Amino acid sequence: MSEILVLLENTRILQRQKPVLTGVNLEVKRGDFFYLIGATGSGKSSLLKTLYGELPLDSGKGIVVDFDLRKLKPKQIPYLRRKLGIVFQDFQLLNDRTVFDNLKFVLKATGWKDKQKIKQQIEKVLLQVGMLEKIYRLPHQLSGGEQQRVSIARALLNDPELILADEPTGNLDPETSKDIMNLLKKLNEKGQTVVMATHDYALIYQFPSTTYKCDAGQLYEVELELGE
């Protein structure tokens, strides 16, 4: 099992088929916690979408959880995503299904068949995120923070090697954002690798970690100073 989960060397990241980041070099090792920061449109989301196969990589070298992004075929994308956990800003839960059925839908779509194992896995991930008691609630019966906890549970279902979180606190108030960050940090302390795009500098000051900035077409590591 490789210790390097993401390796980008001199890559170009596209947005609407135009380069938004060039000369990108990035290495993410097992157990890392990385922030991606930058203004809207600077390439944070496009970089994450490239890592999970939504956008093609057209130059340089790109390896994500042992998949070569330059050679990635459409039929391979579901297999890449099974090794990733993806968390979105807007939760993306199915509103007409309970928490349990939202998670069951993902497991069945990724090949799980045994009803008992499905139930056990759903209960396991909901316990990890503190949502087991809400297992039969509908999304509209949950707060925003609870919905995001469920979406993090969904990301954990297939025991991913890497979690990609795109503005996971973007729709949440400061106190709830802090709860979600505590959860992501706790998962990281237990060995989960996390790459998180955010524009919330206050969270980075509270939960400092390696930070990369997308700016003027470049990606580079930064040390944030308080008051920046």
pLDDT by position in tens, the chain (length 228) = 579 999 999 999 988 888 999 999 999 999 999 999 999 889 999 999 999 999 999 899 999 999 999 999 999 999 999 999 999 888 889 999 999 999 999 999 888 999 999 999 999 999 999 999 999 999 999 999 999 999 999 999 999 999 999 999 988 999 999 999 999 999 999 999 999 999 888 999 999 999 999 999 999 999 876 544
Residue 225, pLDDT score: 64
Is residue 134 assigned to a domain? yes
On whether residue 141 sits in a domain, the answer given is yes
Domain annotation covers residue 175: no
SS3 201: helix
Query: CA angle at residue 82 from 80 to 83, to 5 degrees?
Result: 70
24 domain residue, yes or no: no
| Residue 111, domain member (yes or no) | yes
Could you report the per-residue pLDDT of 193-226, keeping only the tens digit for each?
999 999 888 999 999 999 999 999 999 999 876 5
Q: At what angle do helices 99-109 and 144-156 cross, to 10 degrees?
A: 30
Question: Contact 11/62 with Cβ under 8 angstroms?
Answer: yes
Note the pLDDT of residue 130.
94
- pLDDT attached to residue 176: 93
Domain of 136 in residue numbering reads as 93-154
Query: What predicted TM-score, i.e. pTM, was given to this entire model?
Result: 0.92
Q: What confidence score (pLDDT) does residue 1 get?
A: 59
Q: Kind and range of the H or E element at 218?
A: strand 218-222
Q: What is the dihedral of CA 76, 77, 79, 80, to 10 degrees?
A: 120
How many other C-beta atoms can be found within 10 angstroms of the C-beta atom of residue 76?
A: 13
CB 100, CB 108: distance < 8 Å:
no
User: Is 27 a member of any domain?
Assistant: no
Number of domains, the chain: 1
As a whole number of angstroms, the distance between CA 188 and CA 191 comes to: 5
Q: How far is CA 67 from CA 44, 147, 205, in A?
A: 21, 30, 33
Q: How would you list the strands of the sheet with 210-215, edge to edge?
A: 84-87, 162-166, 193-197, 33-37, 210-215, 218-222
Rg (the chain; Cα; Å): 17
